């Protein structure tokens, strides 16, 4: 089942019809994402397995032609004294060799009436085609999630960089103030050292945040195939809605049934089971209807013109093929075991990710609320510490600590919002319900350029 997002959908309806950056990037990626293109070509290739398997049940028409120079020998009981035109008589007159040119052409029409191998090959091709289609749909949903994660990655890195730069600037101002107080004899040297330690600690954070931003931009470029300089930020107030249904087991059950990776793995397992029957069919009888027409044009010396027309039913049963059939069956049984294990792994992985995403949505609401309160409390603590320093009732270290806690809370709050939205999309993805309209709902929460 898909999440119930009334607030998101309301925001989408109220938003302008023009798509924002996130939805536009998705449309670009949908046309040029390499992983999606690879999945589409893979689907197209596997779809051809069905017409190839079906061809074994359709009439087969073969044409043949030949041209040859022939020599035929005739042995006589009594010596001959006269040779036939176009022939050579041996010296003893008991053997005659005739030479001639033979040209022939023919058509053979055959129709399979029953083949256990061909029957199961067709069923296997249907399963492979269905699995390929499920994999493609999964790749399309995966693109929705990947483009969102890449977009949020840029916003998160940009927020972290801005926060770290603000922290560095703030601690730089506090360091300058501590130095000024030391020079006038109002403040001790220890205040300078403490402020300097906090200021120096921010340098690495700025460098790391800058590198993270560049990496996030490269990831988005990899997906959409173009560089994006400025992207729309997320609004400050985003709706926080709990999953609907609220029970995690309902989401797990939906994921087991509708998750596209699980469905593709299940179809692959069923196709592997059919392949066992295909290999067994290689050692079972085949019944076919055939009609053949052959025309031979040759010299009279080697028999003259001939016509052969046949219609009949053929029964073929390969009784022994050197053990190849038994070996093939053993091989595909092992491959079936592999497919079954992969199906089980897909189920377990999907259940784990579904529960994790569900927990991310539920706890995300709580985390955002707690982080917002921490930001407000941190801001109040900074103001209180600053007043205490100004009035001489507090020390510089308390102000530095309060300022550091405030920026840490700000970073946690920004990240919690992106994690919450990512968990919502991931939950829908695991349940097999993620669609473009879900991305459009997130897109409506972005601040348009120029606003």
**Interval 279-302 mean pLDDT:** 89
Tell which wins on pLDDT, 249 or 388.
249
Tell which wins on pLDDT, 189 or 63.
63
**Interval 376-383 mean pLDDT:** 94
Q: Is position 180 within any domain?
A: yes
Model pLDDT, residue 263:
96
Position 393 pLDDT exceeds 90: no
Position 450 pLDDT exceeds 60: yes
pLDDT in tens, 396-407: 888 889 999 999
Q: Is position 96 within any domain?
A: no
Instruction: Supply the range of the domain harboring residue 417.
Output: 6-68+114-286+324-443
> For residue 97, what are the β-bridge partners?
73, 88
Position 115 pLDDT exceeds 70: yes
Buried/exposed 33-55: b ≥16 CB within 10 Å, e otherwise = beebeebbeebeebbebbeebee
Quote the CA–CA distance of 212 and 204 in Å, as a whole number. 12
Quote the CA–CA distance of 447 and 451 in Å, as a whole number. 7
Picking from 369, 426, 406, 408, the residue whose alpha carbon sits closest to that of residue 141 is: 426
Model pLDDT, residue 178:
84
Q: Is position 88 within any domain?
A: no
Coil, strand or helix at 225: coil
Position 13 pLDDT exceeds 70: no
**Interval 110-124 mean pLDDT:** 94
Alpha helices in 184-259 (DSSP H): 189-224, 248-258
Position 14 pLDDT exceeds 50: no
Q: Is position 17 within any domain?
A: yes
- Please state the separation of Cα 248 from the chain's center in Å: 26
Model pLDDT, residue 11:
40
pLDDT in tens, 201-231: 889 999 999 999 999 999 999 999 888 878 9
Quote the CA–CA distance of 373 and 410 in Å, as a whole number. 10
- What is the band of 8 on the pLDDT scale with cuts at 50, 70, 90? very low
Position 166 pLDDT exceeds 70: yes
Mean pLDDT estimate for the chain: 89
Model pLDDT, residue 270:
96
Burial class (CB in 10 A: 0-12, 13-18, 19+), 31: exposed
Q: Is position 282 within any domain?
A: yes
Model pLDDT, residue 71:
85
pLDDT in tens, 171-200: 888 888 888 878 888 778 888 888 888 888
* Residue 434 near residue 145, CB atoms below 8 Å: yes
Q: What is the CATH number of the domain that holds 399?
A: 1.20.1600.10
With a pLDDT cut of 70, the percent of the chain lying above it is 95
> Is pTM beyond 0.75 here?
yes
Model pLDDT, residue 17:
38
Q: For residue 323, what are its two tokens?
A: 């053990």
Position 435 pLDDT exceeds 70: yes
**Interval 404-412 mean pLDDT:** 94
Model pLDDT, residue 9:
36
Q: Which helix (H) or strand (E) holds 426?
A: helix 396-430
Cα three-residue angle 287-288-294, rounded to 5 degrees: 150
**Interval 359-379 mean pLDDT:** 95
Q: Is position 318 within any domain?
A: no
Quote the CA–CA distance of 363 and 416 in Å, as a whole number. 10
34-38, 177-181, 321-325: lowest mean pLDDT where?
177-181
Position 12 pLDDT exceeds 70: no
With a pLDDT cut of 90, the percent of the chain lying above it is 68
12-16, 153-157, 339-343: lowest mean pLDDT where?
12-16
Tell which wins on pLDDT, 178 or 47.
47
Tell which wins on pLDDT, 124 or 13.
124
User: How many domains are contained in the chain?
Assistant: 1
Quote the CA–CA distance of 406 and 391 in Å, as a whole number. 21
Quote the CA–CA distance of 101 and 337 in Å, as a whole number. 59
Q: Is position 200 within any domain?
A: yes
Model pLDDT, residue 421:
96
Model pLDDT, residue 19:
61
**Interval 339-351 mean pLDDT:** 97
Position 3 pLDDT exceeds 80: no
Q: Is position 294 within any domain?
A: no
pLDDT in tens, 227-244: 887 899 999 989 999 998
Question: Dihedral of CA 257/259/260/266: which sign?
Answer: negative
């Amino acid at each position: 089942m898909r999440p119930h997002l009334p607030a998101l959908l309301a925001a989408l309806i109220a938003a302008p019809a023009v798509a924002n950056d996130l939805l536009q990037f998705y449309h670009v990626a949908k046309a040029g994402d390499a992983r999606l293109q690879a999945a589409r070509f893979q689907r197209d290739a596997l779809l051809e397995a069905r017409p190839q398997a079906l061809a074994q049940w359709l009439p087969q028409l073969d044409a043949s032609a030949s041209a040859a120079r022939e020599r035929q020998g005739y042995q006589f009981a009594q010596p001959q004294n006269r040779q036939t035109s176009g022939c050579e008589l041996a010296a003893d007159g008991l053997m005659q060799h005739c030479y001639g040119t033979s040209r022939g052409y023919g058509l053979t029409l055959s129709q399979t009436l029953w083949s256990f191998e061909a029957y199961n090959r067709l069923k296997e091709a249907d399963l492979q085609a269905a699995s390929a289609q499920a994999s493609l749909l999964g790749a399309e949903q995966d693109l929705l999630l990947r483009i969102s994660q890449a977009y949020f990655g840029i916003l998160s890195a940009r927020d972290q960089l801005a926060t770290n730069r603000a922290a560095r600037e703030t601690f730089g101002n506090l360091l300058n103030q501590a130095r000024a107080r030391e020079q006038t004899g109002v403040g001790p040297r220890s205040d300078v050292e403490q402020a300097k330690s906090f200021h120096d600690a921010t340098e690495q954070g700025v460098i790391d945040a800058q590198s993270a931003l560049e990496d996030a931009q490269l990831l988005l470029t990899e997906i959409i195939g173009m560089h994006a300089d400025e992207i729309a930020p997320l609004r400050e107030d985003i709706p926080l809605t709990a999953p609907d249904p609220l029970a995690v087991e309902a989401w797990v059950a939906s994921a087991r049934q509708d998750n596209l990776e699980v469905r593709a793995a299940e179809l692959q397992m069923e196709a592997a089971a059919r392949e066992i029957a295909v290999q067994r069919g290689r050692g079972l009888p085949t019944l076919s209807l055939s009609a053949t027409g052959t025309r031979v044009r040759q010299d009279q010396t080697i028999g003259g013109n001939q016509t052969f027309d046949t219609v009949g039913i053929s029964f073929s049963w390969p009784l022994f093929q050197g053990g190849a059939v038994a070996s093939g069956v053993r091989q595909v049984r092992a491959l079936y075991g592999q497919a079954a294990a992969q199906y089980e792994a897909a189920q377990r992985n999907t259940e784990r990710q579904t529960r994790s995403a569900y927990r991310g949505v539920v706890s995300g609401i709580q985390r955002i609320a707690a982080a917002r309160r921490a930001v407000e409390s941190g801001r109040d603590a900074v103001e209180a510490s600053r007043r205490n320093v100004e009035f001489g009732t507090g020390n510089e270290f308390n102000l530095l600590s309060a300022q550091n806690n405030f920026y840490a809370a700000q970073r946690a709050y920004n990240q919690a919002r992106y994690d919450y939205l990512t968990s919502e999309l991931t939950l829908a993805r695991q349940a097999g319900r993620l669609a473009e309209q879900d991305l459009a709902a997130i897109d409506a929460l972005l601040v348009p350029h120029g606003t």
